[in-house]
Amino acid sequence: MHKVLVTGGAGFIGSHLVDRLIQTDEIGQVTVLDSLTYAGDQRNLVAAMDSPKLQFVEGDIRDTDLVGDLMPSHSAVVHLAAESHVDRSLRDVGNSVSTNVMGTQTLLDAAMRCGVQKFVHVSTDEVYGPMPTGSAREGDPLRPTVPYAASKAASDLMATSYFVSFGVPVCITRSSNNYGPRQHPEKLIPLFLRKLLTGEPVTVHGHGQHLRNWLHVEDNCRAIELVLRRGIPGQIYNIGGGTDLTTLELTGRLLRIVGMDWDSVTTVADRTANDIRYSMDWSKIAELGFQPRCDLASGLAETVHWYRGNVDRWPVAEATGTLADGAELTAVGA
């Protein structure tokens, strides 16, 4: 794995993974392929840019010629590029399908032709659909409920098919909700922090009982790197082990950190298809040696500190409408 191609490497999770990989002695080059859409930002790579190991390429994973030119010089791929926002997938189903499914197929096809040593496809717990009770295991049926999750489930199946049909050494990771510095403020924690730190109220859907497992991005990246190194081709690995919290419980923690009270919280009707609970069994990756290291209290404190120090990373509006409008609709599930 001397040379690793990381798609979506200028995004939230991708940039943290790149920071890890360039510090690894046996990895000589990390190439980031990122189209720099709204959620990708080269400022996420400011530390990595100082390394001679890093090569940055701006481009789309659906660009067959570009991917075909890049792939032959790499021995491994970590594929994180995706349209990852639930509400955006509801507004534009086609873009989610095109990027998440066809983009993944374009990468897999190039990896097959070039004979890469490992292809890690990064996915989400949302592909399992709601889990009112129990915890999903890697072999359980996929029951996605929204276009974003359906497109990720389809890309998972596409990746598996390239292992079975063509022998591409694919591993799939499915993680619970990530949080930490650099996350785009359409997602729940940075959205709530942006609002609370500027004195705005935050909005909770329904009764605030949606349950999510919150995993620090550094823990997720350690697990992805572990799968890159030691994952068995053809296998799927759930990445969990964070802290289970309802939306109300998480909101309460954020309020305490920033010194505000429940007067800053309003409630609205629940979003359509807002799955009540996600839960995964992650014992399989624990057998590879993974254990989370970041506790929620220190992780949230670190995240608040970062957003306070990076006010310029708080975009308020976009061409598609106000960020707050789009983000609040999916804050629980994103």
224-231: average pLDDT? 98
Same structural domain for residues 199 and 145?
Answer: no
> Are residues 147 and 46 both part of a single domain?
yes
- For 161-172, write each residue's pLDDT tens digit: 999 999 999 999
- What pLDDT sits at residue 49? 93
pLDDT bucket at 271, cuts 50 / 70 / 90: confident
Residue 127 belongs to domain spanning: 3-177+215-239
* Sheet containing 170-175, strands listed edge to edge, beginning at the edge strand earlier in sequence: 54-58, 29-34, 3-7, 76-79, 118-124, 170-175, 236-239
1 versus 59: the higher-pLDDT residue is 59
Least confident of 42-46, 134-138, 196-200, 211-215: 196-200
pTM score, whole prediction:
0.93
Q: How much helix, strand and coil, in percent to the nearest 5, is found in the chain?
A: 45, 20, 35
- CATH of residue 202's domain is 3.90.25.10
What's the mean pLDDT when you consider all of the chain? Answer: 91
Domain assignment present for residue 288? The answer is no
Residue 168 lies in a domain: yes
Residues 200 and 314 in one domain: yes
What per-residue string of b and e applies to 99-109 under the rule 16 or more CB within 10 Å gives b?
bbbbbbbbbbb
User: How many domains does the chain fold into?
Assistant: 2
Does residue 55 register a pLDDT over 50? yes
The rounded distance, in Å, linking the Cα atoms of 233 and 136 is 20
In a domain, 283, yes or no: no
Tell me if residue 80 falls in helix, strand or coil.
Answer: coil
**Residue 103's CATH number:** 3.40.50.720
CB atoms within 10 A of CB 2: 12
Mean pLDDT on 3-9? 98
Q: Give the residue numbers annotated as catalytic, written as ranges.
A: 125-126, 148
Q: What is the pLDDT of residues 178-221, one digit of tens each?
A: 999 999 888 899 999 999 999 999 999 998 999 999 999 999 99
Single-letter code of the amino acid located at 203 = T
Is residue 320 very low, low, confident or very high in pLDDT (cuts 50, 70, 90)? very low
Q: How confident is the model at residue 334 (pLDDT cuts 50, 70, 90)?
A: very low
Residues 95, 189: one domain? no
Same-domain check for residues 114 and 189: no
pLDDT at residue 64 tops 50:
yes
* Residue 323: per-residue pLDDT: 33
**311: its two tokens:** 């006010």
What is the CA angle 12-14-19, rounded to 5? 105
| 332 has pLDDT over 50 | no
The model's confidence at residue 96, banded by pLDDT at 50, 70 and 90, is: confident
Question: Can you say whether the dihedral through the CA atoms of 110, 113, 118, 123 is positive or negative?
Answer: positive
Poorest-pLDDT segment among 237-246, 257-266, 269-278: 269-278
Q: Are residue 137 and residue 193 in the same domain, yes or no?
A: no
* One domain for residues 231 and 98: yes
Same domain, 124 and 197: no
Q: If we measure between CA atoms, which residue out of 260, 78, 266 comes closest to residue 172?
A: 78
Are 169 and 254 in a shared domain?
Answer: no
